[in-house]
Chain A
């Protein structure tokens, strides 16, 4: 019986230990939740600076798998647990968390550093229903074309600036046995990125304005025409492109088997880590005609939110305030290779500085910025349609019609259209 009692005690002790790991941090200690395990070293350094300026407040970094982060965070927050400060996603997902009351409202009284951020960045972390900001934005992302400079140099070619040049440069690369564009279409969300990049210069800001005002739908000829142009790129993509997924596309580019990769500025740090010798450039997508603006698509990645139930509100706010300073933005950009939206941030890295420059001629990444607030999201509809289109199972017109019909279930301006 004594042995049984010992076993029971051991079980109870183990259970209590497990429970202790999910309890909130103690006073003077904050936990920071994120989906970016790969950023641990950078955040450790950033938090060291914070602790140096705020003695007695230590920040613990806790990362979770990106694909499960929303579920883990929402489950923990529903139970009154979770990190004191959380990395929050932007737009629709931010709204879901904010609407439920999981994040604390931030205003300039509690976080004066909000004034350091541009309105469009704050809009990404705002709940439209009450107009309040719920997270401090940390990065903008730009979608464009990665160039393997060594591959181009070796082939004696220069990166394209127009659609015609893209075709001729692509043909020349193919003739030399190099895949012109690394992207395949097997990973659905990446198809939206691919389309977002190449269609941005064709669509421009007027199309976005017309869509939002209900003057046009995605059945508009400007949109379906742009999708039709994408089909011309199939010849420049890898053999069997419908079966090439995102990681393979990245590897084709990194290994120099492909000359270009259509992707986001969020790839820069990862590409450098994977191949430090990679000599790359990041350019705006090609214009249809010489001299036309080469718009890039832009969006904001996420923000830092305070857990509304955190027992360490004061310290958590201190941390978020620090994350809104120029000093933090400078170091964030240097360590993580991302563009901080904080005003006046200095970007020393030449490639990143170039990305920041490209942002001056940009349009919003339309589905993420405007149609990811209700289901079915514009992103889900478009990526599914694009996969079918690239596989020859749907025409650009059908994709436009399906996207419009899906969005029309909640976007009233589209409902007025016959």
Chain B
């Protein structure tokens, strides 16, 4: 490579690299360091060893809140993995069959993915509103009494997951569809000649042959579920209302580190400890899951 070209490539890469180091790596290292300090006001004061980690994991009220938030993240992950991605898989399979208006359906399915979380949150909050919401109005037409979906501990988390599914199902559907389209037509034809029905084809042929897409979707769902913040924040507030029923680790971290407007204080030490624990958990779990899922991938 000519030295001039190498220099030019270096110049082109430098801004991105500098941005990455400045805005991603440096804050990450900063958060990691802050986790080991006690704070005097808003500045690190004394080295505190593992105290912040001990507090977050074992001392009340952090422990109960962290456990509750983690439990909700697990529920969100399991639900989105099965319901949102299962639906996406079925949508992709339907779109694969080039049914009438399938191009239009493909656009419709993917359209919500293009919307920002702020719009989706506001839209669903309005739809689920106990007084003015379309959902309760529709139920009333059927003679069913509506409820405060986001204000009821039994339904609040499910309602936000529903909004999330509406927002994101198009993305895994598109990934599944792309993977399905890579399967040679002959495989389907051979299966049909052998008398396999649609369910058999789906289970025995399509599912194993889209394993690569499944790995990606699983990983993204896992990371997305444990970093879940925008929708619960927009639809249920920083406190995870009602009474913590929608509290997740992302909200708990933000509340702890930065405080809430009218009731909380900034606590960078415990917030950073929480962030480090979340990072380690996500990185380790993703690595193990990837290793396991890669084993079942089949090259076409």
By a beta-carbon cutoff of 8 Å, the part of chain A in contact with chain B is 4, 8, 11, 66-68, 70-71, 74, 78, 92-93, 95-102, 184-189, 192, 238-245, 248, 367, 372-377, 379-381, 383-385, 387-388, 390-391, 393-394, 405-406, 409
Assess the A100–B15 pair: CB atoms within 8 A. Answer: no
Q: When chains A and B are docked, how far (Å) is the Cα of A11 from the Cα of B16?
A: 13
A-B residue pairs in contact (CB < 8 Å), sample of 8: A186-B150, A188-B239, A244-B151, A377-B263, A377-B264, A379-B264, A384-B239, A385-B243
- A78–B43 contact, CB under 8 A? yes
Q: Which residues of A contact B238 (CB under 8 A)?
A: 188
Interface contact A186-B259, CB-CB below 8 Å: no
Asked if residues B148 and A95 are in contact (CB atoms below 8 Å), the reply is no
Contact A95 B41 (CB under 8 A): yes
Q: State the CA gap A253–B13 with chains docked (Å).
A: 57
Q: Do residues B242 and A100 form an inter-chain contact, with CB atoms below 8 A? A: no
Report chain A residues within 8 Å CB of B260: 189, 380
CA distance A393 to B68 in the complex (A): 15
Q: B136-150: which have CB < 8 Å to A? A: 136, 146-150
Contact, CB under 8 Å: A96 / B241: no
**With A71-B258, A187-B241 already in contact, 7 other A-B pairs whose C-beta atoms are closer than 8 Å:** A67-B261, A96-B42, A99-B40, A240-B131, A243-B148, A375-B256, A377-B263
A225–B146 CA distance with the chains assembled, in angstroms: 32
Minimal beta-carbon separation of B185 from chain A (angstroms):
48
B11, A8: Cβ atoms closer than 8 Å: yes
CB distance from B71 to the nearest CB of A (A): 16
Q: Is B61 part of the binding interface, using a Cβ–Cβ cutoff of 8 Å?
A: yes
Chain A residue numbers with a CB within 8 Å of B242 are 185-186, 242, 387-388, 390-391
A243 to B237, CA, bound (A): 12
List the 9 closest pairs (A to B, CB-CB), nearest first. Answer: A243-B148, A240-B130, A243-B151, A242-B151, A99-B41, A100-B41, A379-B263, A388-B243, A240-B148
Residues of A within 8 A of B11 (CB): 4, 8
Asked whether, in the complex, the Cβ of B261 is within 8 Å of the Cβ of A66, the reply is: yes
Q: Enumerate chain B residues within 8 angstroms of A192, measured Cβ to Cβ.
A: 262-263
Q: How many residues of B contact A (CB 8 A)?
A: 42
Residues 34-85 of B contacting A (Cβ, < 8 Å): 40-43, 59-61
Considering the complex, give the chain B residue whose CB is closest to the CB of A390.
B242
B258 engages A243 (CB within 8 Å): no
CA distance A349 to B149 in the complex (A): 42
Q: Is the CB of A100 within 8 A of B263?
A: no
| CB-based contact A380/B15 at 8 Å | no
A78 to B40 Cα, complex, angstroms = 13
Rounded to whole Å, the gap between the CB of B158 and the closest CB of chain A is: 14
Cβ contact within 8 Å between A238 and B131: yes
Report yes or no: A244 in contact with B131, Cβ–Cβ below 8 A.
Answer: yes
C-alpha gap A374/B269 in the complex (Å): 13
**Does B215 interact with chain A (Cβ within 8 Å)?**
no
User: Given the complex, which residues of A lie within 8 Å of B129, measured CB to CB?
Assistant: 243, 248
Q: How many A-B residue pairs have CB under 8 A?
A: 147
A93 near B259: Cβ-Cβ < 8 Å: yes
CB atoms of A406 and B130 under 8 A apart: no
CA distance A390 to B242 in the complex (A): 9
- Given A96-B266, A98-B41, A100-B43, A242 and B239 touching (CB < 8 A)? no
Contact partners of A101 in chain B: CB under 8 A: 41, 43
Q: Given A98-B41, A242-B152, A11–B15 Cβ distance below 8 Å?
A: yes
- Which residues of chain A are near B256, meaning CB under 8 Å? 375
Contacting residue for A189 out of B43, B136, B152, B261, CB 8 A: B261
Of all chain A residues, which has the CB nearest B262?
A189
* Known contacts A78-B43, A188-B241, A391-B243: A70-B258 contact under CB 8 Å: yes
Which chain B positions have C-beta within 8 A of A367?
263
A97 to B39 alpha-carbon distance, docked (Å): 12
**Complex interface: chain A residues within 8 A of B239 (CB):** 188-189, 380, 383-384, 387
Whether B243 lies near A393 (C-beta < 8 A) is yes
Which residues of chain B from 247 to 266 have a CB within 8 Å of any chain A CB?
A: 256, 258-266
How far does the Cβ of B262 sit from chain A's closest Cβ, in whole Å? 4
Residues of chain B lying within 8 A (CB to CB) of residue A70: 258-259, 266
Least distance between A370 CB and chain B CB atoms (Å): 14
Q: How far is the CA of A343 from the CA of B128 in the complex (A)?
A: 49
A243-B261 contact in complex given A391-B242, A409-B60, C-beta closer than 8 Å: no
* Interface flags, B147-169, vs A, CB<8A=1, else 0: 11111110000000000000000
Asked whether A239 and B265 contact (CB < 8 A) given A70-B259, A78-B43, A188-B241, the answer is no
Question: Is B8 an interface residue, CB under 8 A from the partner?
Answer: yes
Known A-B contacts A78-B43, A186-B150; A387 and B264 likewise in contact (beta carbons under 8 Å): no
Structural contact, B131 and A239, CB atoms closer than 8 A: yes
Bound: A241/B149 CA distance, A: 11
B153 touches A391 (CB 8 A): yes
- The B208-264 residues at the A interface (CB cut-off 8 A) are 237-239, 241-244, 256, 258-264
CB distance from B245 to the nearest CB of A (A): 8
Could you tell me the distance between the alpha carbons of A381 and B270 in the complex, rounded to whole angstroms?
A: 17
